[in-house]
């Protein structure tokens, strides 16, 4: 039932972390500190899985930083200042538990079997977008939009690693799917075609999905995948991971574009149990944007590389949607109330400029559980059910 779902959501204009139930009741602010245009959010449920005590749930969120007005840009702002950061707090502990997370540059990087030297001029964090977290809670992965990268934060060492710079990928090639390193024609919006936004981890298949959204309403968005071995920090072997403090980065030649020419794909949600990849798209309505979409996911038997089936446009008519989340992501992660499993996927929650929506994917109906005024902008979402 909808009232079982607790939606934790960020508000980029109110600079807050709040909660509301799936039926629109019990709305309240959880944190009003540690937020500066927050966008991506994840829950660390690793301790709660064992203790079943809600006090052990940690919420992580990313902050884009301070927007500089720029009327000519897509959202009216410039986000190139490197002032983004990560925050965390105990979900029901209030503002006193919130901390701005310390990040350090990596000490030792490896690509394949060779030493790798990152550019000394790169900022650790510029503009944090969607986050995801490993099952054990030890690593936070996120996309850095203006930072042009897929990044990893190691909770134990506090090291912030640029796993992949989108600057290392060749420009977008209209209409030609395949390897992301292929050559291409010149593009008018080259930088925006390198804006990393959405991310989803697939620990079971050692890969990461991410989006390059492209220019606003530009029809040049992509969903890509990169290989990443989670158990050994992407190092050549588990032995190397045990005997070294190094972090493995991703060879850009191994990155594959799964679907191209999308209106403007934003956040991702992987349902590994059911074999679907969902995403929001804030692009042009006429091109299939302002929508919630999905593709089936399968894996090449020989290489293990992900493959996407045909795109399904599930719901349209949103106003620049961003976040998406549902209780289905809890399956296998935490103990659930008796009989709860059958209803985990009843409702998908989607945020856009005007509303927080509860969507029924079976009949295509949606209901607003939160109407947003001009001073509110919900962004990232997470869903929780408690025993």
* Architecture category of domain 2-384 in CATH: 6 Propeller (2.120)
- Which pLDDT does position 1 carry in this prediction? 61
pTM of the model: 0.94
Whether pLDDT at 162 is above 50: yes
Whether pLDDT at 77 is above 80: no
Contact criterion met (CB below 8 Å) for 146 and 80: yes
SS3 39: strand
Opening angle at CA 192, ends 83 and 377, nearest 5? 60
Contact criterion met (CB below 8 Å) for 192 and 171: no
β-strand pairing of 38-44 with 221-227: unpaired
Residue spans of alpha helices (H) in 27-182:
46-51
Whether pLDDT at 186 is above 50: no
Element containing residue 240 per DSSP (H, E): helix 238-243
CA 193 to chain centre: 17
Specify which of 168-172, 239-243, 350-354 reaches the highest per-range mean pLDDT. Answer: 350-354
Q: Mean pLDDT throughout 140-150?
A: 98
Opening angle at CA 167, ends 139 and 160, nearest 5? 25
The DSSP secondary-structure symbol of 104 reads B
Q: What is d(CA 79, CA 66) in angstroms, rounded to the nearest whole number?
A: 7
Residue 38, both tokens: 């927050």
Nearest to 101 by CA among 130, 59, 143: 59
Q: What is d(CA 124, CA 137) in angstroms, rounded to the nearest whole number?
A: 21
Q: Count CB atoms within 10 A of the CB of residue 310.
A: 8
Chain segment 239-294, per-residue pLDDT in tens: 999 999 999 999 999 999 999 999 999 999 999 999 999 999 999 999 999 999 99
Whether pLDDT at 183 is above 50: no
Whether pLDDT at 175 is above 60: no
Whether pLDDT at 327 is above 90: yes
β-strand pairing of 178-179 with 196-202: unpaired
Q: CA separation (Å) from 53 to 43, 151, 294?
A: 14, 31, 34
β-strand pairing of 247-249 with 109-111: parallel
Q: Mean pLDDT throughout 346-365?
A: 97
């Amino acid at each position: 039932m909808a009232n079982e779902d607790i939606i934790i959501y960020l508000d980029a204009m109110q600079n807050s972390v709040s909660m509301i139930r799936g039926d629109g009741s019990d709305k309240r602010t959880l944190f009003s500190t540690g937020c500066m245009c927050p966008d991506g959010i994840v829950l660390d449920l690793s301790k709660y899985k064992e203790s079943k005590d809600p006090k052990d749930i940690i919420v992580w969120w990313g902050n884009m930083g301070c927007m500089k007005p720029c009327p000519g840009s897509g959202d009216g702002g410039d986000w190139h200042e490197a002032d983004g950061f990560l925050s965390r707090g105990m979900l029901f502990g209030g503002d006193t538990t919130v901390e701005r997370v310390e990040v350090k540059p990596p000490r030792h990087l490896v690509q394949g079997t060779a030493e790798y030297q990152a550019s000394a001029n790169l900022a650790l964090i510029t503009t944090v977008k969607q986050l995801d977290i490993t099952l054990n809670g030890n690593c936070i992965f996120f996309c850095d939009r203006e930072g042009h990268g897929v990044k990893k934060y190691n909770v134990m060492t506090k090291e912030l690693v640029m796993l992949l710079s989108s600057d290392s990928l060749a420009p977008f090639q209209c209409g030609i799917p395949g390897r992301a390193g292929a050559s291409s024609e010149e593009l008018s919006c080259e930088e925006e075609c390198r804006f990393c936004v959405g991310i989803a981890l697939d620990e079971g298949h050692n890969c990461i999905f991410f989006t390059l959204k492209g220019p606003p309403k530009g029809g040049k968005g992509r969903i890509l995948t990169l290989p990443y071995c989670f158990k050994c920090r992407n190092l050549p072997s588990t032995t190397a991971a045990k005997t070294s403090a190094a972090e493995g980065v991703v060879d850009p030649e191994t990155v594959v574009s799964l679907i191209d020419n999308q209106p403007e794909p934003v956040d991702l949600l992987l349902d590994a149990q059911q074999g679907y990849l969902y995403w929001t798209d804030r692009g042009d309505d006429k091109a299939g944007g302002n929508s919630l979409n999905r593709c089936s996911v399968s894996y090449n038997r020989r290489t293990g590389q992900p493959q996407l089936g045909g795109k399904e446009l599930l719901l349209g008519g949103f106003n620049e949607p961003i976040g998406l989340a549902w209780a289905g992501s809890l399956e296998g992660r935490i103990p659930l109330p008796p009989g709860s499993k059958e209803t985990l996927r009843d409702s998908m929650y989607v945020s856009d400029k005007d509303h927080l929506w509860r969507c029924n994917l079976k009949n295509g109906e949606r209901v607003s559980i939160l109407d947003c005024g001009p001073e509110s902008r919900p962004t990232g979402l997470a869903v929780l059910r408690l025993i």
